[in-house]
Amino acid sequence: MQHGRVTLANRIASGVLRALFLTTIAGCSRAGGAAPGSAVSQAASSSSESSPGARCDAQAGLASLDAAKASLAQTYAKRFKVGVAINGRVYGDGDPAAAALVAAQFNRVTAENELKWQSLERQPGVLDFSQADAFLAYAEQHGMEVHGHTLVWHHQVPAWVFQNDSGGPATRQQLLARLEQHMSALAEHFGSRVRYWDVVNEAFNDDGSLRDTPWRAIIGDDYLDQAFLLAGKHFPDAKLVYNDYSMEKPAKRDAAVRLVQGFKERGVRIDAIGTQAHFQLTTPTLEAIDASLAAFAGAGVEVLVSELDVDVLPAAYENQGADLSVNAELSAQLNPYPECLPNDVAEQAAQRWADIFEVFSRHSEHVHSVTLWGVSDGYSWLNNWPVRGRTNYAQLYDRQLRPKRSWQRVIEVAGQTL
C-alpha cells in the first residue's frame, strides 16, 4: 500500500491556537464531495473508451435491479431506519433528482454541515437558521426523522467561541455559558423537531484517552458531563448521542462504553452511541464491527451507525479514521481510478457493503438507524478527504445517481438474513 506525505496539523499547534487552525481547515473544505456536474464528477463519468488502458467499464458496477422497485428504508423497515447525510446542494432548488432519490430511498436525514456551530452562529449571538430551516423543511415534507449534528466538536466551530473579549482564551464559566446560550437558542428555534442530537463528537483518541481539544483545555475533563447535562436540560424530548469514529478499535470502543457507564453512575442522561463507520474495503474487520455493536448494546444504549461509507481508494495515511486535521497531497498513486472503478474492485465493494449490512442486521434489536454519509459517490466527502480532488466510489449510487451493484447487494442481503 502506498502512503502519501502526511501533514499532521496537530503537530504544529496546540490548545486554542490549534482550534483556530483546524477551524480554518474545516472551513476551507466545507464544499465536501464533488457534486454531479463538477470537474471531479465529469472526469469520473466519462466512459473507459476515452481513456486508453483503463481497466474498467463505467456500466459494470451498476445494479440490474430497478431502483424504483425497492427502497433501502422499506427493505430494512423492520430492523432499523436507513438515513443519509444531505447538504444544501441536494434540497431546495439544488438537485431535484437527488432530493427525489433521498425521499424515495431513506426515512431519516442528518444535516452534513448545516447544524454545526459554524453554520448556525458564525458571530456571537447572531443566529442564522436559514440553511437549517431549508434542511428541516425538506425533511418534514417527506416525513423523515431528523438527526442533529453536532453541538460540541473541535472542528467547524468559530474561533470566538473559545476566546475572551481581548482574544485570549475564554474561562470555563464563559465557555459553559456560551454553550448553554447556543443550546438554548437552538432549542427555542427547533423545539422537538430534531429527534436525535450528537451532543459531543469525537472526544476520544484512538487509544481511549481524552482528546486534547479547546473544550477540554478550557472547561476541564468534565466537559462531556457538562455538555450532556446542558443538552438534557434544553432538549428534554431529544435522544442524546455520543458520536465518534474508529469505534471498532478496542481501546476507543471501551472508552465509549466507560463513558456511558460513568454517566449512568453520575446520573447524566445519554441515550445512544453513534459509531461513524467510515470504513475501508477490508478494515475494520467484520468481527471488530460486530464486537463494537455488541459492546454498545451491552452498555444499555441505542446504537446509531451514523456516517457510513466505504472508501475504495489506497490509504493516504496509516491510521485510517476520520480525523479532519489530516491531509495528504494528491498523487496518481493515491487516485488510481479517475475514470471509473475496475470491475473487481466494484465487486469487492459490493460484497463489503452486503457483509456490513449483514452484521448490522444481526444487531438490529439495538441498532436504531444506519446513516450513509452522502447521497452518492459524487456527494461523498471522501472525494476531498484526506486528499483533495480524488475520485472515490464510497456510496451506493454513482455520480449520475444510478443505483450501484453495492446498493443491490444491500437490498438482497436483507432477504437472506430475515
- Rounded distance, CA 367 to CA 354, Å? 17
Whole-number minimum distance, CB 243 to ligand XIL, in Å? 6
Is 202 known to be catalytic? yes
Which one of 114, 121, 202, 339 is the catalytic residue?
202
Q: Which residue's CB is nearer to ligand XIL, number 45 or number 384?
A: 384
Contact footprint for ligand XIL (CB under 6 A): 26, 29-30, 32, 112-113, 201, 276, 307, 322, 324, 381
Q: Which residue's CB is nearer to ligand XIL, number 84 or number 217?
A: 84
- Rounded distance, CA 33 to CA 118, Å? 19
Please give the full DSSP string across 40-76, using - where no structure is assigned.
Answer: HHHHHHS-GGGSTT--B-TTTTB-SS-GGG--HHHHT
Q: Comparing C-alpha atoms, which of 176, 170, 187, 87 is closest to residue 131?
A: 87
Q: Which residue's CB is nearer to ligand XIL, number 37 or number 168?
A: 37
Secondary element (H or E) of residue 137:
helix 130-141
Q: Which residue's CB is nearer to ligand XIL, number 148 or number 342?
A: 148
Whole-number minimum distance, CB 109 to ligand XIL, in Å? 14
- Rounded distance, CA 168 to CA 163, Å? 5
Whole-number minimum distance, CB 60 to ligand XIL, in Å? 28
* CA 19 to mean position of chain CA atoms: 20
Whole-number minimum distance, CB 201 to ligand XIL, in Å? 5
Q: Which residue's CB is nearer to ligand XIL, number 71 or number 381?
A: 381
Question: 213, 19 in Cβ contact below 8 A?
Answer: yes
Please give the full DSSP string across 178-239, using - where no structure is assigned.
Answer: HHHHHHHHHHHHHTT---EEEEEE--B-TTSSBP--HHHHHH-TTHHHHHHHHHHHH-TTSE
* Region of residue 106 (left: phi > 0; alpha: psi -120 to 50; beta: else): beta
Q: What are phi and psi of 327, to 5 degrees?
A: -150, 150
Whole-number minimum distance, CB 149 to ligand XIL, in Å? 6
**DSSP-derived secondary structure letter, 363:** T
In this chain, which residue has its C-beta nearest to ligand XIL?
32
Catalytic sites, residue numbers: 202, 307
